[in-house]
Amino acid sequence: MVEVRPIRTEADYETALARAADLMDARAQTPAGDELDILVALIERYEAKRFPMGFPDPVAAIEFHMDQTGMSPRDLVPYIGSRARVSEVLSRKRPITMAMARALHEHLAIPAEVLLQKPRASNAEALDVLDAERFPLREMAKRAWIPDIPNLKKHADELIQELLERAGGQAALAAVPLYRRSEQQRLNAKTDLYALQAWCWQVLACANDQPPEAPYQPGVVSFEFLQRVARLSVHEDGPLRARRLLAEHGIALQIERHLPKTYLDGAALQLPDARPVIGLTLRYDRIDNFWFCLLHELAHLGRHLGDDHQSFVDDLELPSGDTFEGEADRWARDALIPSDAWQESRVAQEPTSLNAIYLANQLGIHPAIVAGRLRYETRNYRLLSQLVGTGQVQKQFEREAHS
């Protein structure tokens, strides 16, 4: 695989497109296939910034021009005014006037139709898009996410605002913008977005209430880190050990049962101060499912979560053509069972309990993980059902919570 470089200019973009075209016939899980996956992700990210659907936000267009040309805010003073005024415009505290738009268009060639758009709603205004009464208030009160008081709908605005504040305020609203669908949502079409929004805020609120004491160091979640987490599965209390290990690295793991009509397995989220939070629902309370979901969300954290992507929510029953989802699937699958080990094992040809346990012992993982992989690949969910550890995860977290 050749060295893949970031796409910063039109020339980089054209080079990446040409290389991707050469690799279109590459097989998956080969060096060329991996290079193609990386190139596609970089191309999509560049295109999302350079050629967004519709017109970009005016400030985003200015920031993109600055990024491409190496300009600093000080360089905008001749077109916008004082340094203080530039700061106000870039922070969206001051609208772009006609005179500013004319100067920016004439001297920086930013399209006038972009600069003269009506400003988009702020986060506070975006909350108005949501109808607080449409949240599953009764179920939320039953779970003590909000106070159980008479006339819940009458107080819906106040109750939802309180939950949002616990989750991090307006920054949490921006971090989990489920009021509009995006590619970072692997969701069933029947998903109730209000219920899903409430779940995400509750996960963030709990993580905010009791954050890990250790600071989070960006870059700590590597493929090797996922393998280290996977090896904890051999222990009877492996899920609890995994939560402690993550906490030692500043990563919160929150277990929160999904709400009706959410069809959710897990999410990778961020608190307003960029501390990462992994939320799992244990929708399928099985050992194999727990470890795959956990590593999938950790893969998002290690590979994708950042300034451009602040949340990923996943229904892992659904197939996904999204590059990021595909990469997270591969990281989780290969960290649990390396591809070569799987291909060389006998369990795929002879799916017996003995073969599953033998491979698990070789890899130092729980046999449930091998059984789960086999059931998924064959789509035969009757195979090795005695090994997948049904009902063995939720009770561990419940016991710990009451101890």
Write out pLDDT tens, residues 345-380.
Answer: 999 889 899 999 999 999 999 999 999 999 998 889
Higher-pLDDT residue of 13, 397: 397
- The mean-pLDDT minimum among 27-41, 248-262, 325-339 falls in 27-41
Kindly tell me if the per-residue pLDDT of 184 is higher than 60. Answer: no
Higher-pLDDT residue of 198, 114: 198
Task: State the average pLDDT for the chain.
Answer: 85
Averaged pLDDT, 65-73: 86
Higher-pLDDT residue of 363, 60: 363
Higher-pLDDT residue of 297, 48: 297
Instruction: Find out whether 311 and 267 touch, Cβ atoms under 8 Å.
Output: yes
Provide the pLDDT for residue 37.
Answer: 76
For residue 301, give both structure tokens: 């954290």
Higher-pLDDT residue of 330, 129: 330
Provide the pLDDT for residue 24.
Answer: 66
**Distance, CA of 132 to CA of 130 (rounded, Å):** 6
For residue 119, give both structure tokens: 């400003």
Kindly tell me if the per-residue pLDDT of 81 is higher than 90. Answer: no
Kindly tell me if the per-residue pLDDT of 278 is higher than 60. Answer: yes
Confidence at 125, pLDDT banded by 50, 70, 90: very low
Q: Which DSSP string corresponds to 151-219? A: -TTTTHHHHHHHHHHHHTTHHHHHHS-TTS--TTEE--TT--HHHHHHHHHHHHHHHHHS--SSPP-TT
**pLDDT tens sequence across 203-240:** 999 999 988 989 999 999 999 999 999 999 999 999 99
Q: Measuring CA to CA, how many Å separate 23 from each of 12, 26, 38, 40?
A: 17, 5, 11, 11
Kindly tell me if the per-residue pLDDT of 169 is higher than 90. Answer: no
Provide the pLDDT for residue 192.
Answer: 87
Kindly tell me if the per-residue pLDDT of 128 is higher than 70. Answer: no
Kindly tell me if the per-residue pLDDT of 36 is higher than 80. Answer: no
Averaged pLDDT, 174-199: 72
Averaged pLDDT, 172-177: 68
Q: What angle do CA 341, 349, 330 make, to 5 degrees?
A: 40
Provide the pLDDT for residue 91.
Answer: 79
Provide the pLDDT for residue 360.
Answer: 94
CB atoms within 10 A of CB 82: 9
Provide the pLDDT for residue 215.
Answer: 92
Residues in CB range of 261: below 8 A, 6 or more apart = 190, 191, 192, 195
Query: Residue 267 — φ and ψ, nearest 5°?
Result: -155, 150
**pLDDT tens sequence across 285-343:** 999 999 999 999 999 999 988 755 568 888 887 776 678 888 999 999 999 999 999 99
For the question of whether the overall pTM of this predicted structure is more than 0.75, the answer is no
Provide the pLDDT for residue 52.
Answer: 46
Provide the pLDDT for residue 20.
Answer: 75
Q: Where are the domains of the chain?
A: 10-50, 58-120, 124-402
Kindly tell me if the per-residue pLDDT of 187 is higher than 50. Answer: yes
For residue 180, give both structure tokens: 């509009």
Confidence at 127, pLDDT banded by 50, 70, 90: very low
SS3 content of the chain, % helix, strand, coil (to 5): 55, 5, 40
Kindly tell me if the per-residue pLDDT of 175 is higher than 80. Answer: no
Give which of 132, 135, 98, 133 is closest to 117, Cα–Cα. 98
Q: Which DSSP string corresponds to 22-58? A: HTTTPPTTSHHHHHHHHHHHHHHHHHHHHS-SSPPPH
The architecture CATH gives domain 58-120: Orthogonal Bundle (1.10)
**pLDDT tens sequence across 2-30:** 577 788 787 787 788 778 767 766 777 78
Give which of 237, 246, 171, 175 is closest to 212, Cα–Cα. 246
Query: Residue 294 — φ and ψ, nearest 5°?
Result: -60, -50
